[in-house]
């Protein structure tokens, strides 16, 4: 599951050298594994699991901790620095936040490039603009070229815009952050800006990340449709 490989894939195993000690990791539990559990998850599960164990973790990994009332499954949603590290005694383990919904996670994990049909040309362009900078950032630094910072997908509802974004996030291992435009907007002055700022700050903490803003026209409508 952590390797994100499918039946028939060829897997190479190599020794990883110079894996750094982590400054901070962010983990969240799956909601269906903590039902009925009371008390502090860190003290009961995470602290005994990581204490003096020097466990390696990678952003996006799942791990099961057996202890307390029953096993609890967690996901590593953030690692500092880099994408992977070793959890040392002085590594800060952050576990605050809403539990992960199993249905949402499985829906994301099930989506890959092979699941999208009829968009070969579009997928090639999008992968060049998004996947290439994520996988080979040094290439852009060497050439002195700034990678694209955003892509606008347009089309009728149900044509696969969200599916494409989820597939790219899943295939590249990037943190996926979905923002629903109408839900972000608020009648309170400054609240919409605050909501967007928090979303981008969360994505920055979990970089590399892909932010997908659904129905962006509700946040940035055409000028002739605004009231000011």
CATH class of 108-221: alpha beta
Mean pLDDT throughout 176-190? 68
Long-range contacts of 161-166 (CB under 8 A, 24+ apart): 161/214, 162/212, 162/214, 163/111, 163/115, 163/116, 164/116, 164/119, 164/122, 164/123, 164/126, 165/210, 165/212, 166/107, 166/108, 166/111, 166/212
- Name the segment(s) of the chain with CATH classification 3.40.50.300: 108-221
Q: What is the mean pLDDT of residues 188-207?
A: 77
Confidence of residue 222 (pLDDT cuts 50, 70, 90): low
**What integer pLDDT is reported at residue 223 of this predicted model?**
60
When pLDDT is cut at 50, 70 and 90, the band that residue 92 belongs to is very high
User: What is the CA angle 83-86-89, rounded to 5?
Assistant: 135
Classify 85 as helix, strand or coil.
Answer: strand
CATH of domain 24-99: 3.10.330.10
Positions of CATH 3.10.330.10 in the chain: 24-99
């Amino acid at each position: 599951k952590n390797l994100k490989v499918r039946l028939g894939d060829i897997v190479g195993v190599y020794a990883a050298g110079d894996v750094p000690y982590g400054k901070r990791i962010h983990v969240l539990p799956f909601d269906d594994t903590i039902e009925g559990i009371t008390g502090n998850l860190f003290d009961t599960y995470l602290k005994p699991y990581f204490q003096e164990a020097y466990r390696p973790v990678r952003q996006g990994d799942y791990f099961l901790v057996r202890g307390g009332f029953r096993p609890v499954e967690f996901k590593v949603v953030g690692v500092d620095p880099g994408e992977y590290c070793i959890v040392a005694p002085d590594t800060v383990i952050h576990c605050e936040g809403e539990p992960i919904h199993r249905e949402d996670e499985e829906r994301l994990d099930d989506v890959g490039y092979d699941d999208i049909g009829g968009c070969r040309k579009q997928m090639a362009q999008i992968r060049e603009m998004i996947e290439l900078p994520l996988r080979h950032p040094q290439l852009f630094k060497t050439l002195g070229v700034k990678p694209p910072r955003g892509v606008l997908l347009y089309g009728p509802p149900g044509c696969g815009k969200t599916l494409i974004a989820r597939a790219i996030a899943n295939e590249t291992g990037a943190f996926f952050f979905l923002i629903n435009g109408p839900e972000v907007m608020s009648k309170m002055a400054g609240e919409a800006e605050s909501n967007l700022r928090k979303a981008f700050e969360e994505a920055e903490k979990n970089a590399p990340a892909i932010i997908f803003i659904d129905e962006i026209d509700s946040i940035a409508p055409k000028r002739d449709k605004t009231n000011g």
